[in-house]
Amino acid sequence: MSQNNVSRRGFIRSASAGAAAVTAGVVGAYGSSAEKANTLAVLGGTPVRKEPFPVWPQTTAEIEKSLVAAFRSRKWGRTLGERRHGSGQVGQFEKRFAEMVGAKHCLGTGSGTQSLHTALHAVGVEAGDEVLVAPCTYLASIQAVLMCNALPVFVDVDLDTFQMDPNKIEPLVNENTRAIEPVHIGGIPCDMEPLMAVAAKHNLKVVEDAAQAHLAEYKGKKCGTFGDLGCFSFQTSKVIACGEGGAIVGDDGELMEKCYTFHNIGLSSDGKGAAVGTKYRMHEFEAAVLNPQLATLAEQTKARNESAAYLAKRLEEIPGIKPQKLYDGVSQAAYYIYGFRYQKEHFNDAPKEKFLRALRGEGIRFTTMYFDELNKQPFIENTLNSRTFQKIFPKERLRQYREQNHCPSNDQLSAEGVWLPQYAFLGGKELMDDIADAMAKIHENREQLARV
């Protein structure tokens, strides 16, 4: 509780009494600091946190130098030979990122979305195929499937871990299922062992959406290296960021060459290939901004994990706040976002919106999931009704698809989920304490939520 007159313990101790007085209308103008500490800030009390969160993205002297060097080099786009020789900003980035995640190859792209589209195309997802994917994700994971004219078949989530439930995958496999697209949501690894076992049993390709999971590990192996291909994003909010940017990693040289060709307007790396393709190349400025960040990523990841472990312990004290759990196999998380469920029954039945207003008032920053109930968003139904999808998929399959497209656990997660941003976890214990104290204060004073 930064620069607050009331000590952490003092605030907890006096909270109930103060809150009761306020509710009863005994205290008129919340005069004393104790009264203010026990009044939700959104109702005029003293906020738990007054300092800003750490800034993101970071603008270091190293990044600036690297960017200016790329600018002055007058070589702003990548050239063919550089991929083979690991030179140029993009070539260097690909080489170092592949090493860091433990993959044989890496291909830079213009975004995570482009990476997913390219990877799904490369593993052979085509019109009429089906791809199993979780509904708790960013819309790009789904759009990439639709861009291949394939059906995204939603696997409901596990309410403890917020990830695709590995036990719910197999019943959804049919003769048209081509791939599984696990999304390591929050930058926390999915339960890869059972998931890969289902893929192997049914001969399915696996394209990992590791857009949020840089350096996350399951049983000591990095996310993005379990499946046939792994896709990353370097969009501004990510733990290494360059505005927009992405990468695909993989061990299979032939598959990576297919990715290269597709992302390079159908031209293979020897300049000869003749296949369908688009232009999804990473440019030198993006890589110039990313390269210096590779030096700090491991250290920052460690700091985020330490902060997250500390916060999880503190949140155990607060009824109705349920953080996203890690599977036993998780040896390191990326914590791109730190998720928790808000259970209103422990907060006087106050709707999530009121809790969030109160949390913001206490000086805590958060994000909600970008798209609640993603499996029900209109872009899916509109695509099913498109001329292309009507031509490709039998009417009966589309009828069945609509009928089966229910993810009750994800609906609950959408209603209850709240996410804290990754940069908060660079703020150390002090910021973690403020987050936990803010939630404890709201819980202690939950009857005030009715007036928020």
Ligand X SMILES: Cc1ncc(COP(=O)(O)O)c(C=O)c1O
Binding site for ligand X (CB under 6 A): 111-113, 137-138, 140-141, 183, 209, 211-212, 233, 235, 244, 246
Strands (E), 163-278: 177-181, 205-209, 217-218, 221-222, 229-233, 246-250
- Cβ proximity to ligand X, 139 vs 398, nearer residue: 139
Q: Where are the alpha helices (DSSP H) in 365-427?
A: 378-384, 387-392, 395-404, 408-416
Min CB(63)–ligand X separation in Å: 18
User: Tell me, what DSSP letter sits at residue 215?
Assistant: T
Query: Residues 195, 133: contact at Cβ < 8 Å?
Result: no
- Cβ proximity to ligand X, 112 vs 361, nearer residue: 112
Query: Residues 210, 230: contact at Cβ < 8 Å?
Result: yes
Min CB(351)–ligand X separation in Å: 26
Min CB(66)–ligand X separation in Å: 20
- Cβ proximity to ligand X, 244 vs 306, nearer residue: 244
Residue entry with tokens 């969009």: 235
d(CA 452, CA 449): 5
- Cβ proximity to ligand X, 73 vs 367, nearer residue: 367
Min CB(308)–ligand X separation in Å: 18
Min CB(406)–ligand X separation in Å: 22
- Cβ proximity to ligand X, 119 vs 321, nearer residue: 119
Q: Where are the alpha helices (DSSP H) in 107-191?
A: 112-122, 139-147
- Cβ proximity to ligand X, 211 vs 288, nearer residue: 211
Element of type H or E holding 389: helix 387-392
Query: Residues 235, 112: contact at Cβ < 8 Å?
Result: yes
Strands (E), 175-266: 177-181, 205-209, 217-218, 221-222, 229-233, 246-250
- Cβ proximity to ligand X, 137 vs 383, nearer residue: 137
Min CB(178)–ligand X separation in Å: 19
Conformation bin of residue 446: beta by default, left when phi > 0, alpha when psi is -120 to 50: alpha
Min CB(337)–ligand X separation in Å: 9
- Cβ proximity to ligand X, 89 vs 141, nearer residue: 141
Q: Which of 287, 277, 256 is nearest to 119 (CA)?
A: 256
- In DSSP notation, 348-367 reads TT--HHHHHHHHHHTT---B
Min CB(249)–ligand X separation in Å: 15
From the CB of residue 73, how many other CB atoms can be counted at a distance below 10 Å?
A: 12
- Cβ proximity to ligand X, 170 vs 373, nearer residue: 373
Phi, psi of 277 (to 5 degrees): -170, 170
d(CA 414, CA 371): 8
d(CA 161, CA 174): 26
Token digits for 132?
């199993």
- Cβ proximity to ligand X, 393 vs 425, nearer residue: 425
d(CA 359, CA 353): 10
Please name the residues in contact with 237: beta carbons below 8 A apart, sequence gap of 6 or more. Answer: 56, 336, 421, 422
How long a stretch of residues is the chain? 452
Q: Report the residue number whose CB is nearest to ligand X.
A: 112
Q: Which of 215, 269, 234 is nearest to 81 (CA)?
A: 269
Please name the residues in contact with 293: beta carbons below 8 A apart, sequence gap of 6 or more. Answer: 58, 63, 240, 241
- Cβ proximity to ligand X, 48 vs 223, nearer residue: 223
Min CB(336)–ligand X separation in Å: 7
Min CB(211)–ligand X separation in Å: 3
Min CB(10)–ligand X separation in Å: 41
